Structure 1
């Protein structure tokens, strides 16, 4: 394994990586994104993401850790390409690391990875009775990250984001999801595309909404089910309500009639898991 050293934050490649970190447009144009942290890089490999470059700050990330990472990259590659897999490893200075990293607690390693398409057609359901979480137009990366953590904890079969307001590889989503953006099966699409997709595979649609709703725990979520949540501000669009199997509501005992979308998603998903015996 050979490595090279970049010590200047003004290096053209480092400036390109800063753009990759900060600009959704750059991530979409290049089909790649930046990952920060040992856990996040490991989960990306486990999730089948292809790493192109690893950057490490040797005061925080040892040569032994780097060797282990390169071995894991080779082992995660398809058998036919395993012997040809070469990881570009770059040692970086403290100045460069601080330019690229969001926080000081990510153990001195970053990686450039290739994005996935995250299309509805890529979804594969090994479970014949899938449980799917759909979120329409979530805006805040922190909420998206929390939704993905909930989905991972419940081991749902897929997370689908309708009309996304930000790309999945926004570093704030990667960070707030603690890498669960890599552990979930995720797809994006328009509301109409997703409704058509769910109907095409005979999925019951349960929409969290105030209108014409019943208490969530009265419904049977043991069949192939999609639980759909919207934002606190606007709720779900009419298209979801018109195509809902049943609208559901979480009864409130306080003064407000809504809660954070990630909290609501957690309550509804874990009720479905309870009904299914947490299988």
Structure 2
């Protein structure tokens, strides 16, 4: 490393702080920050282009840094930063002293190519909380599904809180975003059955056959799915509630539905 930045007033560092804090800046520059060794490693595995590494040598060891640098197939630009600068850029205080600047990927529906002829997809309509989106991505990764589609997103997918709460699963899962209408048209064009999690006009989720191309659609915990989805589903499905309340956290519901689909597919093989 032959470059050092020690001041939080440095122009480049100010630009990176904007990347951390503002969706508009991430979209404009098509870049974003990744914090932490595991997250950076998953991004490399996910074929994300890393532009720079910023390292706080008071935290990260030479051995660990050397290992991550050797994982690149191209020469990576490394900048040493002071602990003061690192704390400005880091979202959490317990990470390993390394932050990457990465290029965004195309998350349009046109970018999706299914390897599986009967894909299993999770669709989330208008999720508001980055923590919920992160949890949904972790669920999708755990279930090994083919794609996650976010309808009418309230934030960009490279929001640092989504990256953090997904523990890097934003890089391990095929993701696309679009309007509800665009995603409905996409699913119909690909002859993918649409199963909407809904309280009304629903059948119990385990009575459905998910071994064909299937999309499981979940809405917000507050309002559920909009009419646009409810009018375009192959069937509406419900998880029977045995207690006093009528809903669960959206990522918990998605996990129950997805793993039932995965179970059926394993039995059919």
TM-score (norm: length of structure 1) = 0.93
Shift of 1:12: 1.1
Distance 1:142 1:210 in 2: 24
Shift of 1:129: 1.2
Post-superposition, which runs of at least 4 consecutive aligned residues in structure 1 deviate over 6 A? none
Distance 2:93 2:231 in 1: 48
1:234 corresponds to which residue? Answer: 223
2:151 corresponds to which residue? Answer: 162
Alignment of 1:1-150 (within 5 A): 2-74=1-73, 85-150=74-139
Shift of 1:3: 3.1
Question: Which of 225, 228, 245 is equivalent to 2:214?
Answer: 225
Shift of 1:112: 0.3
Shift of 1:69: 2.2
Shift of 1:86: 3.3
1:181 corresponds to which residue? Answer: 170
Q: Secondary structure at the match of 1:233?
A: coil
Shift of 1:164: 0.3
Q: How many residues align?
A: 268
1:212 corresponds to which residue? Answer: 201
Distance 1:180 1:199 in 2: 27
* Structure 2: gaps (5+ residues): none
For residues 55-75 of structure 1, what are the alpha-carbon distances to aligned partners after superposition, in whole Å with 9 as ceiling and x for unaligned? Answer: 00112222333332222222x
Q: Secondary structure at the match of 1:183?
A: coil
Which is further off, 234-243 or 63-72? 63-72
Distance 1:21 1:61 in 2: 21
TM-score (norm: length of structure 2) = 0.97
Q: Is the 8 A contact 1:54 1:89 kept in 2?
A: yes
For residues 174-233 of structure 1, what are the alpha-carbon distances to aligned partners after superposition, in whole Å with 9 as ceiling and x for unaligned? Answer: 000000000000000011110111011110100001121010011101111000000011
Aligned CA RMSD, in angstroms, stands at 1.2
Q: Is the 8 A contact 1:3 1:88 kept in 2?
A: no
